[in-house]
Structure 1
Amino acid sequence: MRLFIFLFVGVLLAACTKPTIDANVTAFYTPELTTIDTKTIAIRAQEENQESSLEFLSYRPKIEAKLSYVGFTVVKETENPDYIALVSYGLDGTEPKSSTTSSPVFGSVGIGAYGGRSPFFGSVGQSYNTQTWQEYSRFLAIDIVDADTVRSSNSARIYEGRVKSVGRCPTLAGVFDEVLDAMFEDFPGANGKTVFVKIPWDGSCE
């Protein structure tokens, strides 16, 4: 009976667990990144066709706030900044993958111990709840480039940050704040390393 109770409590706790966004964060950077408290930066979309999109315009102030928080002075590109942050984002183009999970159905399964009338909870026979969903691969990339070289084929980068997150939201928009938080949680992070980050999430894709 105790085993059934422990299993039942475990299922309840799992159901109450707050959702998170799981992300892999990779960063590469040069020693110049250590002097950012004296540098100015402007934000641009990596793809020109995204530059005027409403989606990018909604992301840009959030990225500006993060860059300002870590020490940059954010300016407009017309103000001749020291650096340009080139931003790309979206789904990575891979086909979504189906994931399935099954859990036993718990409920009243009989009388209590020693023949008492009170029922106890346990696994109801061989009954299982099965859920299937699609998982999408989303990404955010930010390259910080010397503004004088940004338009050349050999642009001088001081930082390359990449975040990849796989989950049920079919667009980046539903998890953008959390993905961005993952990138800047320990900015600039471990150079040349990939770290796994969990960010609290409200569970909404809207």
Structure 2
Amino acid sequence: MKFMKTAVLAGALLLTSACASSFSADVSRFQRLPAPTGESYTIVAMGDEETNSLEFQNYARYVAAQMNAQGYTEVSNPDDATMIVSLDYGVNDGREKIASRPGTRFGGFYGWGNPYYYGRGYYRRPIFYDPFFHGGFGGFNDEVYSYTVYSSFLDMNITRPGGEPVFEGRAEANSRGDNLPELVPNLVTAMFTDFPGMSGKTIRVRVPTERK
């Protein structure tokens, strides 16, 4: 009974870890941002024509929630703001990468045991059975395949109404997908991790996500 309970618990932990994933981004920040002592802000797009778009307004809400959590106050009229938050974001067309994985088995005689692996991750070389430890000969031919990696970014600048900069930040990430409505919220979370951060430093931030 104790063994069964342990096995069930182990299985649950494996299932949980299989459902959990993470989003990684490199975040660079330069700042002399004042402490939130009555500071107010408004959010605009770096390209003025985007400010009124529904997509931009959606992403701006994520930034506003983070700014409010820091203790700053959002105002709708730029003339009433002591800081202007400018945003830009995007994702490229992707680049193809080549990798390999174990494919078709070859060889004639096999014994018992597990295969012996040489290499790690997507770049494993041909996998052979060790005749001394596993009782047979043979292996697998590598299967070569390609996949696309997309690079996304979020730029966020904060200035005084006269144009004096107080914060410049950029979050960059590589991903297998190019869906901006999924990427930008994660980039925003990365940007505000340990905000406002140490000026002149680039950090790697991992954002927990749910794997679908």
Question: TM-score, normalization: structure 1?
Answer: 0.73
Tell me the distance in 2 between the aligned counterparts of 1:89 and 1:145: 18
Deviating runs (4+, > 4 A) in structure 1? Answer: none
Tell me the distance in 2 between the aligned counterparts of 1:17 and 1:129: 27
- Aligned-residue CA RMSD (Å): 2.8
Structure 1 residue 187: Cα displacement: 0.2
* Structure 2: gaps (5+ residues): 1-13, 116-126, 128-137
Tell me the distance in 1 between the aligned counterparts of 2:79 and 2:43: 12
- Percent of counterpart pairs with the same letter? 26
Query: Could you say if the C-alpha distance between residues 203 and 131 of structure 1 is closer, same or farther in structure 2, counting changes exceeding 3 Å?
Result: farther
Tell me the distance in 2 between the aligned counterparts of 1:27 and 1:20: 22
Q: Does 1:74 align with 2:41?
A: no
* Structure 1: gaps (5+ residues): 1-11, 113-119, 150-154
Query: Paired residue for 1:183?
Result: 191
Tell me the distance in 2 between the aligned counterparts of 1:199 and 1:39: 28
Q: Secondary structure at the match of 1:36?
A: coil
Residue type at the aligned position of 1:143:
N
Tell me the distance in 1 between the aligned counterparts of 2:189 and 2:46: 20
Tell me the distance in 2 between the aligned counterparts of 1:17 and 1:101: 24
Q: Contact 1:43 / 1:77 at 8 angstroms: preserved in 2?
A: no
Task: Please show how residues 158-169 of structure 1 align to structure 2 within 5 Å.
Answer: 158-169=166-177
Q: Contact 2:78 / 2:84 at 8 angstroms: preserved in 1?
A: no
Q: Contact 1:138 / 1:171 at 8 angstroms: preserved in 2?
A: no
1:65-107 Cα deviation digits (max 9, x unpaired): 000111211111256111110111112x5x5221233233599
1:24 to 26, 39, 54: 26
Structure 1 residue 160: Cα displacement: 0.7
Tell me the distance in 1 between the aligned counterparts of 2:20 and 2:176: 15
Structure 1 residue 127: Cα displacement: 3.5
Query: Paired residue for 2:90?
Result: 90
Tell me the distance in 2 between the aligned counterparts of 1:75 and 1:186: 24
1:104-141 Cα deviation digits (max 9, x unpaired): 3599x9554xxxxxxx4435722445442111111101
Tell me the distance in 1 between the aligned counterparts of 2:202 and 2:193: 13
Task: Please show how residues 1-206 of structure 1 align to structure 2 within 5 Å.
Answer: 16=18, 18-30=20-32, 33-78=33-78, 80-91=80-91, 96-104=94-102, 110-112=110-112, 120-122=113-115, 125-147=139-161, 149=162, 155-203=163-211
Q: Contact 1:90 / 1:171 at 8 angstroms: preserved in 2?
A: no
When the two structures are aligned, how many residues end up with a matched partner?
174
Structure 1 residue 38: Cα displacement: 1.9
Tell me the distance in 2 between the aligned counterparts of 1:200 and 1:37: 31
Q: Contact 1:137 / 1:164 at 8 angstroms: preserved in 2?
A: yes
